[in-house]
Structure 1
Amino acid sequence: MRGRRTTPSQVFALTLMVAASGLILAACGREAETKQPQPRPVRTTTIEKRESLVPLTFTGRIEAEDEVSVAFRIAGRLLANDAKVGERVEAGQLLAQLESQNELSNLRQAQAALSAAQGQLTQARNHYERQETLLGQGWTTRANFEAATQARQTAQSQVEAAEAQVSSAHDLVSFTELRADAPGKITATGPAAGEVVQAGQMIAKIARQDGRDAVFDVGAQMVRAAPADVEVAVSLTDDPKVTARGRIRQIAAQADPVTRTFEVKVGLTDPPAAMRLGATVNGRVESSSGPVIDIPASALTRINQQPAVWIVDRATSLVSARNVDILRFDQAQVIVSQGLDAGEIVVTAGVQALHPGQEVRVLGSGP
Structure 2
Amino acid sequence: MKIHKRRLVGVISLTLAGLAVSAWHHANGEAVAPKAAIKAEASLVRALKVEPKEISDVRAAIGEVKPRRESDLGFRLSGKIVKRWVDAGVLVRKGDLLATIEDEDYKNRVHSAETDVAATQAVLVEAQANERRVGGLFKKRYTSALNYDAAVKSLRSSQAKLQSAKIALEMAKDQLGYTELRAEFDGIVTAVGAENGQLVNVGQMVVRLADPKARDAVFSIAESVFANSPEGEIPRIAVSLLSNPAIKVSGKVREISPVADAVTRTFEVKVALENPPAEMRFGSSVAGRVDQPADPMVVLPGGALFDKDGEPAVWIVGANSEVSLKPVTVVRYEIDRVVISKGLNKGDIVFTAGVNRLHDRQKVRFQEGFAK
Equivalent position of 1:349 in the other structure: none
Mapping of 1:1-367 within 5 angstroms?
Answer: 49-227=52-230, 228-287=233-292, 290-293=295-298, 341-342=345-346, 356=368
Tell me which amino acid in the other structure corresponds to 1:136.
Answer: K
Q: In the TM superposition, what is the alpha-carbon distance from 1:328 to its structure 2 partner?
A: 7.5
1: CA distance between counterparts of 2:246 and 2:62? 16
Tell me which amino acid in the other structure corresponds to 1:224.
Answer: A
Note if contact 1:328-1:336 (Cα within 8 Å) is conserved in structure 2.
Answer: no
Tell me which amino acid in the other structure corresponds to 2:243.
Answer: D
Q: In the TM superposition, what is the alpha-carbon distance from 1:342 to its structure 2 partner?
A: 3.8
Note if contact 2:296-2:341 (Cα within 8 Å) is conserved in structure 1.
Answer: no
Please give the per-residue CA displacement for 1:287-326, whole angstroms capped at 9, x wherever unaligned: 566421469x9xxxx9xxxxxxxxxxxxxxxxx9x9xx99
Over the aligned positions, Cα root-mean-square deviation in angstroms equals 3.9
Note if contact 2:66-2:217 (Cα within 8 Å) is conserved in structure 1.
Answer: yes
Please give the per-residue CA displacement for 1:243-294, whole angstroms capped at 9, x wherever unaligned: 1111111111212222222211111111111101111111122356642146
Note if contact 1:66-1:210 (Cα within 8 Å) is conserved in structure 2.
Answer: no
Please give the per-residue CA displacement for 1:164-220, whole angstroms capped at 9, x wherever unaligned: 000000000100011111101111111111111111111111111441100112222
Note if contact 2:107-2:176 (Cα within 8 Å) is conserved in structure 1.
Answer: yes
Q: In the TM superposition, what is the alpha-carbon distance from 1:340 to its structure 2 partner?
A: 7.8
Note if contact 1:61-1:214 (Cα within 8 Å) is conserved in structure 2.
Answer: yes
2: CA distance between counterparts of 1:122 and 1:89? 48
Q: In the TM superposition, what is the alpha-carbon distance from 1:222 to its structure 2 partner?
A: 2.2
253-262 or 78-87, which deviates more: 253-262
2: CA distance between counterparts of 1:223 and 1:356? 42
Q: 1:336 to 1:254 in 2, by over 3 A?
A: closer
2: CA distance between counterparts of 1:155 and 1:330? 85
Tell me which amino acid in the other structure corresponds to 2:265.
Answer: R
2:125 counterpart SS class: helix
Equivalent position of 1:27 in the other structure: none
1:135 counterpart SS class: helix
Note if contact 2:187-2:210 (Cα within 8 Å) is conserved in structure 1.
Answer: yes
Q: 1:334 to 1:112 in 2, by over 3 A?
A: closer
Q: Which runs of 5+ in 1 are unaligned?
A: 1-45, 303-319, 345-353, 358-366
Note if contact 1:252-1:264 (Cα within 8 Å) is conserved in structure 2.
Answer: yes
Q: Which runs of 5+ in 2 are unaligned?
A: 1-48, 305-320, 349-365
Aligned residues: 291
Q: 1:136 to 1:238 in 2, by over 3 A?
A: same
Q: 1:73 to 1:220 in 2, by over 3 A?
A: same
Tell me which amino acid in the other structure corresponds to 2:180.
Answer: E
Q: In the TM superposition, what is the alpha-carbon distance from 1:83 to its structure 2 partner?
A: 2.3
TM-score by length of 1: 0.69
Please give the per-residue CA displacement for 1:52-107, whole angstroms capped at 9, x wherever unaligned: 23322211111111111111111111111122111111011100101101111111
Q: In the TM superposition, what is the alpha-carbon distance from 1:339 to its structure 2 partner?
A: 11
Equivalent position of 1:351 in the other structure: none
1:222 counterpart SS class: helix
1:96 counterpart SS class: strand
Note if contact 1:226-1:285 (Cα within 8 Å) is conserved in structure 2.
Answer: no
Q: 1:288 to 1:110 in 2, by over 3 A?
A: same
Q: 1:159 to 1:355 in 2, by over 3 A?
A: closer
Tell me which amino acid in the other structure corresponds to 2:271.
Answer: V
Q: 1:144 to 1:231 in 2, by over 3 A?
A: same
Note if contact 1:215-1:263 (Cα within 8 Å) is conserved in structure 2.
Answer: yes
Q: 1:92 to 1:337 in 2, by over 3 A?
A: closer
TM-score by length of 2: 0.68
Q: In the TM superposition, what is the alpha-carbon distance from 1:146 to its structure 2 partner?
A: 0.5
Tell me which amino acid in the other structure corresponds to 2:90.
Answer: E
**Is the radius of gyration larger for structure 1 or structure 2?**
1
2: CA distance between counterparts of 1:288 and 1:356? 34
Equivalent position of 2:362 in the other structure: none
1: CA distance between counterparts of 2:106 and 2:60? 55
Q: 1:137 to 1:225 in 2, by over 3 A?
A: same
